[in-house]
Amino acid sequence: MKKLDDDKLKFETIEIEKQKEEKLFSPTKYFVEEIVNSFDEADLHRTWIKVIATRNSRQRNNRLENMCWRIWHLSRKKKQIAWDAAQKLAKRRFERENGRNDAAQDLSELSEGEKEKGNSNRTDFSRINSDTQIWSDDKSRQLYIVLISLHGLVRGENMELGRDSDTGGQVKYVVELARALANMEGVHRVDLLTRQITSPEVDFSYGEPIEMLSCPSDGFGSCGAYIIRIPCGPPHKYIPKESLWPHIPEFVDGALGHIVNMARALGEQVNGGKPEWPYVIHGHYADAGEVAARLSGVLNVPMVLTGHSLGRNKLEQLLKQGRLSREDIDSTYKITRRIEAEELGLDCAEMVVTSTRQEIEEQWGLYDGFDIQLERKLRIRRRRGVSCLGRYMPRMGVIPPGMDFSRVTAQDSLEGDGDLKSLIGADRTHKRPIPPIWSEIMRFFMNPHKPMILALSRPDPKKNVTSLLKAFGECQPLREVANLTLILGNRDNIEDMADSSSSVLTTVLKLIDKYDLYGQVAYPKHHKQPQVPEIYRLAAKTKGVFINPALVEPFGLTLIEAAAYGLPIVGTKNGGPLDIVKALNNGLLVDPHDQKAISDALLKLVADKNLWQDCQKNGLKNIQKFSWPEHCRNYLSQIEQCRSYHPTNQLSVIPMPEEPLTESLRGLEDLSLKFSVDIDVKANGELDKARSQQKVIDILLQKTTTSGKSVNTYCPGRRQWLYVIAIDSYNCNGCPTEALPLIIKNVMQVGGAEPSQIGFVLLTGLSLLETKDMLTSCEVKLEHFDALGCSSGSEIYYPWRDLVVDEDYESHIEYRWPGENVKSMVMRLAKIENGADDDEMQLSRCSSRCFSYSIKPGGKTRKSDELRQMLRMRGLRCNLIYTHAASRLNVIPLFASRCQALRYLSVRWSIDLSKMVVFLGERGDTDYEDLLGGLHKTVILRDSVDCASEMIMHTENGSKKEDIVDPDSSNIALSEGFEVHDISKVLGCFGIM
């Protein structure tokens, strides 16, 4: 028995030893499980802390070995990411060079005949940034301007700037721009469209549909400026801009409805009843740029784009850091989707507003849709009246940002030129009341009378606040003569903030502790937007300096604000500060990566009082160059110049015909009309109301007929619902399947219960002749359709008008259509090198607005995204649709598509998009995804499509479907099949049947 107990004890001891060994650190296991799978540079720091804290020599050596492996692997992966990025960049530069060469060959030196022709019809236009063309304040103008800023928290008062990365300087800029434009004579109304947010996470004011920004002025009949909030995305959730992409179509449809209603209302006031369409639609940032592009295409209104910050520039910066692969960057920032939106904005914009020349050359120059050399050549040809052969590049306008200085001057004049000592004594006693925010800042300082270095931004890594703090901490002379104030947004708890903001603030606190900067650095947790001017004034009272050390600063609005309050400035040399300092001559520029340069510039300004006073004097003298009136005059002048190139034909709305009397009198219970008619009496002596009412109707109809006016009971605009069939059902040979006519017949049978209330539209990649042939196989007549959208939405026909093509739509989409100039270019570029023979792709059909190319079975061609990119590099703007199960490529105008055709019909016929039902398959042509989103109802019919074209739509770096379509949309429903009962069941879920 004792032996058994000893054996058991021995066994337990062995097990305990094994467990201890297993608990010992295993470098190999750790390397495989942790290093290869996940790592970052912050983790290296944590590992080093563990090494220092480890007393056991064996574990310390293991951790050091592990750290070496980590550094090696991190370095290796960084090199691989950098190598891949360099390879892609080199390939793209090669393609851009080829595109430029192709364009240069076509746009060679003008012949003598062309020169003479150009000189005879020459119209001189000033450069986009010149001052020769000044906006004239004309009271007879009645302009309606639409601004769009989609993301962030937008309101007119108490803006929560710095609350998150989406609510920054852009919000303040667009709100003040709207106010300033509304105060210009000749501007009737300004609407700032943004997203409506009813989330409990934010203030209730962001859920108000309308907010007045400026009161109407009786002086010149202005309606004022308004914030219009459009429902978009999850109604009760505040989501970041990276999550808004799938909801863009919904915002487009909502904005279109508002603009159409407002255009009609304004037309009644100022345009004799005709719709008063916007003078310009201006999108701010990539998301709003895509919205503006779609609206511009539907309404044929000039579009302007302001990038604020650009995706390609951000992508390059992140790739250079080497921390994240392109896939990781895309999943975090949705950078591919953002770049595609910016490219679309360049396709559609008449003008791109920038703050600096550097933004044009070094940032927009990275895009496929803009080449500075090609743009210059096209501009010269345009001025000379010589054809650009279908090529187009948007104009770039350098317009400095504006600011309202009226309150600055009034407040400063009250306070005089006294310094802080005239307000606060050495013992911190107040000689007179001071703003509360001053006390909040000064409580951090041991000596609040020292000059204050002020930095104001959100806690974002690219704002480079940590480099400023290091420069201050490592420069002892600067620490002796100055204090540092960091206004980094608002926070309650750092741990509750976004990862990037939390990381920046944590680093700030660590650096303050590292350099022992307590009593020298202020970092208040809260401030309100109205208190920002007081912060600038406090810095000016101490003879301080404002600094913006951002890695790249597109705008630099805070530099202008600081200058207006008498602060000299130190700015990054990358971006807007370059032009701002040049114009104001009130400060210095530094390399944001050079900490010594930052500390030297700050020390120079705070130590040299004469230099400080000269900078203050120059800033206050030149600040009016950045006033809002100056900005708006420049802005409106450039838009007026660009409109001279834009077509004058605008979208017209078909007037609603008068309702027939049989419809208007239907269901009428009581007739209070005094007509001389015989009264029918029942047998019991009561009046027979039914027969009497019918007699009145018959008499009225008879009078209408005898007067010679025919009663037309048909008008598409009077439809209550519109059923849109857009199913791309083809077999492997690219021919329509037998299921397609059956689906059309079933959909019409479901909607046939109310023939006068439900209309039908067919949208297809087929030509008109092919559509006719397809419909002959079923019992559906062409006359049963209200409209046919053929050739991927490039042609609209009306069967009730003898299949006459809509010429207004043709002229509407003609703008920027390169026509014959792109015909041969597409065939050459679509073929893959060493992949396609010369006869694998041929032009099969050619119409005024569509070139259709047939592709042989098995033929290899470039994907639509890649082909579109190559055409953009050559200045050619088109919409490319693969259809017929990828056996055909339709090249159509930029503003033409099946989705845009729907929006066009909704405006023409006055039918809300929410009253449309679009029937699709589970797959389709390469424009299939565009038809899924929006306010219309979408019914996906299962098993209705055999072969699709979407597999050759996106490249490997293209956007993912979830970034284009909201998978949780309540407007999308899936049908079990395409039989009548299946369709009826789904429509019942929408509350239609």
Query: Each residue of 619-677: pLDDT tens digit?
Result: 988 888 888 888 899 999 999 888 776 665 566 666 655 444 444 444 444 444 444 44
Check which CATH number belongs to the domain holding 577 and give it: 3.40.50.2000
Query: Each residue of 237-250: pLDDT tens digit?
Result: 999 999 999 999 99
Query: Each residue of 324-356: pLDDT tens digit?
Result: 778 888 888 999 999 999 999 999 999 999 887
Same-domain status, 448 and 362: no
Same-domain status, 391 and 442: no
Check which CATH number belongs to the domain holding 755 and give it: 3.40.50.1000
- What's the domain count of the chain? 3
Same-domain status, 361 and 443: no
Same-domain status, 531 and 590: yes
279: Cα separation from own chain's centroid: 20
Mean pLDDT (whole number) for 746-773: 87
Query: Which range, of 120-129, 135-144, 168-177, 607-616, averages the lowest pLDDT?
Result: 120-129
Residue 680 or residue 77, greater confidence: 77
**Residue 18: is its pLDDT beyond 90?**
no
Query: Which range, of 24-38, 312-326, 560-574, 810-824, averages the lowest pLDDT?
Result: 24-38
Mean pLDDT (whole number) for 476-494: 92
564: enclosing H helix or E strand: helix 557-564
Same-domain status, 394 and 449: no
pLDDT of residue 954: 64
Same-domain status, 579 and 721: no
Same-domain status, 394 and 461: no
User: What length does the chain have?
Assistant: 993
Confidence at 137, pLDDT banded by 50, 70, 90: low
Q: Kindly state the DSSP code that residue 156 receives in the 8-state scheme.
A: S
Query: Each residue of 906-927: pLDDT tens digit?
Result: 999 989 999 999 999 999 999 9
Mean pLDDT (whole number) for 264-293: 91
Whether residue 727 lies inside any domain: the answer is yes
d(CA 927, CA 950): 8
Same-domain status, 372 and 487: no
Long-range own/partner contacts, residues 806-812 (CB < 8 A, 24 or more apart):
808/649, 808/651, 808/652, 809/901, 809/904, 810/848, 810/849, 811/647, 811/649, 812/300, 812/649, 812/651, 812/895, 812/904
Range of the domain at 462: 436-626
d(CA 572, CA 547): 8
Confidence at 549, pLDDT banded by 50, 70, 90: very high
Confidence at 315, pLDDT banded by 50, 70, 90: confident
Calculate the average pLDDT of the chain: 81
Same-domain status, 226 and 304: yes
- Is 550 buried (19+), middle (13-18) or exposed (0-12) by CB count in 10 A? buried
d(CA 828, CA 891): 14
In this structure, the number of other CB atoms found within 10 A of the CB of residue 754 comes to 10
Mean pLDDT (whole number) for 240-261: 95
Mean pLDDT (whole number) for 427-442: 81
3-state secondary structure of 856: coil
Same-domain status, 271 and 384: yes
Query: Each residue of 97-125: pLDDT tens digit?
Result: 777 777 777 776 544 344 434 433 333 32
pLDDT of residue 342: 96
Structure-block tokens of residue 253:
């449809």
Same-domain status, 486 and 394: no
Residue 195 or residue 6, greater confidence: 195
Same-domain status, 150 and 248: yes
Query: Each residue of 167-196: pLDDT tens digit?
Result: 988 998 999 999 999 989 889 999 999 999
Q: What is the DSSP string of 598-640?
A: HHHHHHHHHH-HHHHHHHHHHHHHHGGGGBHHHHHHHHHHHHH
262: Cα separation from own chain's centroid: 22
pLDDT of residue 489: 87
pLDDT of residue 860: 82
Strands 587-590 and 569-572: parallel
Kindly report the CA angle at 117 between 111 and 123, in degrees rounded to 5? 120
Residue 690 or residue 284, greater confidence: 284
pLDDT of residue 578: 84
Q: What is the DSSP string of 253-318?
A: HHHHHHHHHHHHHHHHHHSTTS----SEEEEEHHHHHHHHHHHHHHHT--EEEE-SS-HHHHHHHH
pLDDT of residue 140: 64
d(CA 841, CA 831): 8
